[in-house]
């Protein structure tokens, strides 16, 4: 009976250690995913800024062309 208790306590300790490692790895994975998401969001924001600048330049060009035509 005492040996059974020792066996199960040892088994319980190993399972708790394994659970702790899994929890630690899960935290690392979540942090990595969050960092990746932040990086992707920043890329999208940069692309959006570039697109907005292109649209603004195109609108300015259209206005400039329109003004030239009206001046003639």
Q: pLDDT (tens digit, 9 = 90+) per residue, 8-17? A: 999 999 999 9
pLDDT over 70 (residue 72): no
Confidence of residue 2 (pLDDT cuts 50, 70, 90): confident
25-34 burial: b if 16+ Cβ within 10 Å, else e: eeeeeeeeee
Distance CA 53, CA 61 (A): 12
Task: Copy the structure tokens of residue 53.
Answer: 């600048």
At CA 49, angle to CA 46 and CA 52, rounded to 5? 155
For 17-47, how does the pLDDT look when each residue is reduced to its tens digit (9 = 90+)?
Answer: 999 999 999 999 999 999 999 999 999 999 9
């Amino acid at each position: 009976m005492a040996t059974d208790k020792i066996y199960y306590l040892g088994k319980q300790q190993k399972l708790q250690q394994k659970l702790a490692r899994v929890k630690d790895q899960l935290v690392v994975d979540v942090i990595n995913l969050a960092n990746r998401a932040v990086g992707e969001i920043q890329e999208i924001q940069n692309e959006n800024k570039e697109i907005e600048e292109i649209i603004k330049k195109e609108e300015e060009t259209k206005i400039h062309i329109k003004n030239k035509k009206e001046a003639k």
